Structure 1
Amino acid sequence: MERILSRQAASEAVQEYGWRYLLGSLQTSVEVGTSARAVGLAADAVAACGDDADRHLRIDVRPGRVVFTLQSLDHATVTTRDVELARLISATAGKAGLLPGPGTGTEEPRSVQLLEIAIDAFDIAGIRPFWKAVLAYTDEAGAEGAEHPLVDPLRQGPAIWFQQIDRPRPQRNRVHLDISVPHEEAPRRIEAALAAGGRLVSAARAPAFWVLADREGNEACVTTWQGRDN
């Protein structure tokens, strides 16, 4: 039976196979040399995982490299089945003469990483719906409360989480998010963000971008390719 693992247990179970535990998932990177070989390894990994590939495995194929991520979508964390699949994928890569793990070039390897974005807030429950709408994100499986992060259902963007604060901080909003969407989707995204408690700061540069803000002034721009010089 599939069982949820602690962070330590998950890390220890896969480390010798070249995988690392990151933010509730297992991840490894494999250097492959060519795009054709990358696609071939990805296909072999899916075959090795069988039907479980759809509920556990994400693959990012880049020139010369394949990044594999394993996480149970039903539990939004690592389970014993993810560990089994990591071993299968590592064995598949090994048969192809490839080694999962950090790069082997002359430069210091970066290894794997994941990105999260944190937003400081006084009223997390009040602003969380805005960010859920403007990013078209969803709740993690079984995690709908304000204390839980928002995730991209297509796994294209980083998770967003919210940090409780009790006093203003100087020089806030030095960073904002740009969300680039197909031009025909921009009006729908903006409408959803406004309905979720956001406000329109500026449409002066629309349709290149609209500036929106949540209730506490944190800004996000919905952008498209239209209305630009080039």
Structure 2
Amino acid sequence: MKRTLSGPEASDALNDTGWCYLLESLRTSVPAGSLAEGIELATRAVAACGEHADGHLQADVRRGLVLLTLRSPDRAAVTTRDVDLAHRISAAVRAAGSRTEPGGGPEAPRTVQLLELAIDALDPAALRPFWKAVLGYADEAGASGPAAPLVDPLGQGPAIWFQQMDRARPQRNRLHLDICVPHDEAPRRIEAALAAGGRLLSATRAPAFWVLADAEGNEACVTTWQGRD
């Protein structure tokens, strides 16, 4: 029987598979020499998952790269089945002479990541229906409540979640990006952002997230799975 895994359990179970745990999902990339080769590798990944492919696997095939995501269909979580499928996919890709890796190859500009949009709200229940309608989004699997996350049913856009405010903050932005990266990538990403003119506003919740801002005060959070369990 499949079991939901905590963040440390999911991360540790991946070992050297080339997969990363990013907030309730497993993600990796596979270098491909051409679009046709990418489709072939994605087909191998689907075959490795067997009957569980439609429920657990998402594949995004680009020229030179295949992006793969695993998560359980009935909840926003990673289970033992997802980890098992990750190992199967990695083995199938190796058999084809390629590899699963978080960076997509030695010349890739970055590792795999997960982008979310956070909306600060005094009344999330009042705002949520608007964003659900205007974006054509849907409820996240297994989530409920007036502030539950919204997701793109086609998997193209970032997830949206609502952060409860205790008072109005008209002097600062009310929308910010959450960039979830592999835990060992976070220091490099933060260093690069600071070197590019950014400021570190808070590290009190690190390593769950660091709050940064650009030169005009627009905020973004670099987040990891760590510090949440």
Match of 1:120, SS state, is: strand
Alpha-carbon distance change, 174 to 75 in structure 1, aligned in 2, over 3 angstroms = closer
| Residue 125 (structure 1) aligns with | 125
Higher-Rg structure is 1
- The aligned length equals 175
Q: TM-score, normalised by structure 2?
A: 0.72
Deviation at 1:100, TM superposition (A): 0.9
| Residue 160 (structure 1) aligns with | 160
CA distance in 2 between counterparts of 1:116 and 1:175 reads 9
Q: Which runs of 5+ in 2 are unaligned?
A: 178-229
Task: Please show how residues 97-136 of structure 1 align to structure 2 within 5 Å.
Answer: 97-101=97-101, 102-105=103-106, 107=107, 109-136=109-136
Deviation at 1:139, TM superposition (A): 1.2
| Residue 10 (structure 1) aligns with | 10
| Residue 41 (structure 1) aligns with | 41
| Residue 139 (structure 1) aligns with | 139
> What's the % identity of the aligned pairs?
58
CA distance in 1 between counterparts of 2:114 and 2:160 reads 12
| Residue 74 (structure 2) aligns with | 74
Match of 1:16, SS state, is: coil
Q: Which AA in structure 2 matches 1:103?
A: G
Q: Which AA in structure 1 matches 2:81?
A: R
Larger RCO (alpha carbons 8 Å, 6+ apart): 2
Deviation at 1:114, TM superposition (A): 0.9
Alpha-carbon distance change, 28 to 108 in structure 1, aligned in 2, over 3 angstroms = closer
Q: Which AA in structure 1 matches 2:113?
A: Q
CA RMSD, 1 decimal? 1.8
| Residue 206 (structure 1) aligns with | none
Conserved 8 A contact 2:119-2:174? no
Q: Which runs of 5+ in 1 are unaligned?
A: 177-230
Q: TM-score, normalised by structure 1?
A: 0.72
Deviation at 1:90, TM superposition (A): 0.2
| Residue 30 (structure 1) aligns with | 30
